Amino acid sequence: MFFLFHGDDTYSKRQFLAKQQAKLGDPEMLALNTAELDGKTVTLAEIKGACNAMPFLAPKRLVLVDDLIKNKPPKELFNGLIAWLPTMPETTNLIFLESKAVSAANKLIKLAAKDKKVGYVKLFERPQGRALEKWISQCVADGGGTIAPRAVNMLAVNVGNDLVALTNEIEKLVVYKNGEQIEAADVEQLSPYAAESSIFMLVDAIGTRNGKTAASLLHEQLTAGVDPFYLFSMIIRQFRLLLQVRECREANMPAKDIASAVGMHPFVAQKLSQQVRNFSLSQLEKIYSHLLNIDVGVKTGKSDMTTSLNLLIATLTK
C-alpha cells in the first residue's frame, strides 16, 4: 500500500509518520527494514527494488520517497509507477513525502480515491487563525499545562505558524510555569519573538507616519525597562532587513526566493514583504543612513540614546 503525505506542515507530517512507524514494531528492526529515496534522482527501478525486497524479521518494510512530485519526474517514470502501485507487495508501505500540497488532479491522489486498499492520502497544512490558536492550546495541554486566551493570541501573532518554533516556546513556558497557567506577561518575559513583534509594530507605525502610535510603542518599551540600546539595535536590524527585501523586490526576485536570499525564516520574510510596501528604496537608504548617524552621535557623546530614539520617531513620522 502507498501513502501520500503532502503539504507545508513538515512538523505535523513527521510527527504523524513517527506514530505510524511506532505501530510497526521494534524500532531497531524497523530501521533495518527502512529505505529512504531522494525524489530528485530516484528511478522507477530503484522504487520497485526497494519495495519488492522482503522484510527482514519484521512484518513490514518501509520505503520513504521525498518530494518526487515536487521534482517533476519524467512521464515514463510516473506513469509506470501508477501502473505498478496496485501490484506492490502487501509487505511494504511506500510513503511519498511532499513538502508542498499536491493538486487533487494528480494521478496518485486519483488512484488512492479509486481504491482505498491501494493508497491513502493525507494533507498537512500549517494552521492559520483560529485553527492556529486551537493548535497552541492543545500543544500546551499535551505538555501538561494551561494557557490564558491572551497568551495564546500573543504566541500566534508573535511566532506565527512555525510549529517547530512554537513547540519550543510552549515547552519553555510550560516548564517555567510548573503547573500554573501561562499568562500574556509570561510570553512577554520569556519569548524573544515578543520583543521582535513590538519592533515590527513600531516600524509599521513609522512607515504609515503614525507618530502618535510610534511614540506610544516606544514609551511602552522604555517604561517596561527595555534597554534603549537594544531597541536601537533591533530598529537598525529591522531597517537593514527591509532594505535587503526592497532590493530583492526591485530586482523582481520571486517572493518564494527572498527568504533564502536574505537568510531568514519564510514567515519573517513574508511579514517584511508586507511591511516594505510602506517604503521606497530611496526612503530606506536615507533612514538607514540616518540610523548610522545616530549611532555615531551617541558613541561620540554628542547625544543620548533615549533622546535620539524620540527624535528619530518625530523625524520619520512628521
Residue 198 predicted with pLDDT over 80: no
Residue for grid cell 532587513: 241
Q: What is the CATH number of domain 193-317?
A: 1.20.272.10
Nearest to 24 by CA among 115, 84, 92: 92
CA distance 267 to 158: 11
C-alpha cell recorded at residue 301: 557623546
pLDDT class for 88, splitting at 50, 70, 90? very high
Distance, CA of 240 to chain centre: 21
252 exposure class (CB count in 10 Å sphere: 0-12, 13-18, 19+): exposed
Q: How far apart are the first and last CA of the chain?
A: 65
Count how many Cα atoms sit within 13 Å of the Cα of residue 76 in the half-sphere of its side chain. Answer: 4
Please tell me the pTM assigned to this model.
Answer: 0.58
Q: What is the CATH number of domain 129-190?
A: 1.10.8.60
Average pLDDT over residues 241-261: 84
Residue 74, number of CB atoms within 10 A of its CB: 10
Average pLDDT over residues 121-135: 89
pLDDT in tens, 140-153: 999 999 999 989 98
Residue 5 predicted with pLDDT over 70: yes
Average pLDDT over residues 49-59: 89
Name which CATH class applies to 2-123. alpha beta
The ranges assigned to domains in the chain are: 2-123, 129-190, 193-317
CA distance 2 to 98: 13
CA distance 194 to 188: 5
